[in-house]
Amino acid sequence: ALLGTAGATGLVLGAAGGGVGYALAPEGSGAPTEALSQLGARRAMFHVKHQPGITTPLQAKGHLLAFDLLAGKGRREAANLLRRWSGTAGRLMAGEAVAADGHDTGVALDAGPASLTVTFGFGHSFFSRTGLEKQRPEALAPLPQFSSDHLDAKRGNGDLWVQIGADDALVAFHALRALQKDARGTARVRWQMNGFNRSPGATASPRTARNLMGQLDGTGNPKESDKDFAQRVFVGAGDGPEWMANGSYVVMRRIRMLLDEWEGLGLAEQEKVIGRRKSTGAPLTGGGERTEPELDATDKAGDLVIPLNAHARITRPDQNGGAAMLRRPFSYHDGIDADGVPDAGLLFLCWQADPLRGFVPVQRKLDRGDALSEYIRHEASGLYAVPGGAGKGEYVGQGLLE
């Protein structure tokens, strides 16, 4: 049984009971989950209208993967894989063992689900591999090339996309291995990326997460309480193929931060690049994180306080014909590369009902003159159709694959 009820975040407190679950309390005692901190006990729901991992609060640990179907594997095998994956994801998100027979690596033993989410998507190539071209949404057309792209095709796109997030690294890894095993004989991993965010509870003043440049990143995001939130982020019935109703499109960009160059800038210069204060996230024209910037304000010399090429000015929906997206990234750090510089940055993930009214126009604009562009490099890219959540007894993508 669950303790507590789902709040606005879609997370509930409590863990699964029943014989196949992890030993959260002495077997059969029916005792509540005293040994788990609130963090471990937090549970996101799998059978929901929109897949988990989109509006779920950022988790501390993330794995992103793409899979390609093996030669000779098509629609039927893909359907079986999505059925297996959905079963595994639903069980693990409830804090249960991978398989009912108890066969499990044990990596997450003793742990609660720790807000685990698993999200599944389909890439452009999936539809030709499975003979489903007629079902391929127009919105999945390949992203245009941008002049600043330095993309590694081997680490981009792919037939199937999986996002794993959890507030515990072992819970996340456990899910990763289970999903990889489910794919054996059907699909192989094309690329994998690992990311992180601040751990919940690490700050006494919870606010928007910081990225590896030190900025509060996510301030301007559409809020679930906004009237047009669902319309911006989720596909409405009648927009494109029926199987995408309640789904969303995710753009993934692996964006390297040129940290040596960035950290060489003084604080005032860094703040001009974004147009916001680093400490509080407030616009340079004053106030707090949530204060509206005064875009026309000038200083004594007559210069705009928030420069014309400031990142937070040119990305605004009102500067882009209303284009908006929900950014939900992970930071990454894969050590030092052959040139001796950190291979670190942002696994930028943005969610929208249509990439042509979200990522594409904004990235076009950034490509033409973003003060931040000197300090970042886009190194990999993917676009995926993420269907709506699976109903009880259903699997993700069933509307497409059956």
Q: Binding of ligand HEM at residue 376 (CB under 6 A)?
A: yes
Q: What is the DSSP string of 99-140?
A: STT-----TTTT---TT-EEEEEEEHHHHHHTT-GGG--GGG
Q: Is 255 in the site for ligand HEM (CB under 6 A)?
A: yes
In angstroms, rounded to a whole number, what is the distance separating the alpha carbons of residues 50 and 205?
29
Q: Which two tokens stand for residue 96?
A: 């249960």
Pick 67 or 348: Cβ nearer ligand HEM: 348
Look at strands 342-352 and 326-327 and give their pairing.
antiparallel
Other CB atoms within 10 Å distance of the CB of residue 320: 18
User: Which run of H or of E encompasses 12?
Assistant: strand 11-13
Does 257 participate in binding ligand HEM (rule CB under 6 A)?
yes
Instruction: Decide if residue 151 touches ligand HEM (CB under 6 A).
Output: no
Residue 186 as a binder of ligand HEM (CB under 6 A): the answer is no
Give the number of C-alpha atoms closer than 13 A to the C-alpha of residue 374, restricted to the C-beta side: 13
* Residue whose Cβ sits closest to ligand HEM: 220
Residue 345 contacts ligand HEM per CB under 6 A = yes
98 vs 366, beta carbon nearer ligand HEM = 366
Nearer to ligand HEM, 129 or 327 (CB): 327
- Contact string 294-313 vs ligand HEM (x = CB under 6 A): -----------------xx-
Asked if 219 touches ligand HEM (CB under 6 A), the answer is: yes
Count of other CB atoms within 10 angstroms of residue 15? 25
Q: What does the alpha-carbon distance between residue 30 and residue 363 come to, in Å, rounded to a whole number?
A: 53
Contacting residue, 171, 183, 362, 390, with ligand HEM by CB under 6 A:
362
At residue 53's C-alpha, the angle toward residues 318 and 390, to 5°, is 115
Q: Which amino acid is at 384?
A: Y
Please list, residue by residue across 223-248, b when 16 or more beta carbons sit within 10 angstroms of its beta carbon and e when fewer do. eeeeeebbebbbbeeebbbebbbbbb
SS3 readout for 200-264: CCCCCCCCCCECCCCCECCCCCCCCCCCCHHHHHCCCCCCCCHHHCCCEEEEEEEEEECHHHHHC
148 is a site residue for ligand HEM (CB under 6 A): no
- Nearer Cβ to ligand HEM, position 48 or 284? 284
Using CA atoms, how far apart are residues 48 and 37, in angstroms rounded to an integer?
A: 25
Residue from 171, 213, 244, 353 binding ligand HEM (CB under 6 A): 213
* Of positions 63, 83, 254, 276, contacts ligand HEM by CB under 6 A: 276
| Contact with ligand HEM (CB under 6 A) among 32, 87, 200, 220 | 220
Out of 116, 118, 274, 305, the residue judged to bind ligand HEM by CB under 6 A: 274
**Using the rule CB under 6 A, is 278 a contact of ligand HEM?**
no
Per-residue x/- mask for ligand HEM, residues 32 to 61, rule CB under 6 A?
A: ------------------------------
* Residue 319 lies near ligand HEM (rule: CB under 6 A): no
Total residues interacting with ligand HEM, rule: CB under 6 A: 28
Residues 168, 182, 217, 354: which is the catalytic one? Answer: 217
Q: Is 343 among the catalytic positions? A: no
d(CA 335, CA 230): 38
Q: Which stretch binds ligand HEM (CB under 6 A): 81-89, 122-130, 178-186, 343-351?
A: 343-351
Contact (Cβ atoms closer than 8 angstroms) between residue 376 and residue 329: no
CA count, 13 A, side-chain hemisphere, 21: 23
Residues that bind ligand HEM (CB under 6 A): 211, 213, 215-220, 253, 255, 257, 274, 276, 311-312, 315-317, 325, 345-346, 348, 359, 362-363, 366, 372, 376
Annotated catalytic residues are 217
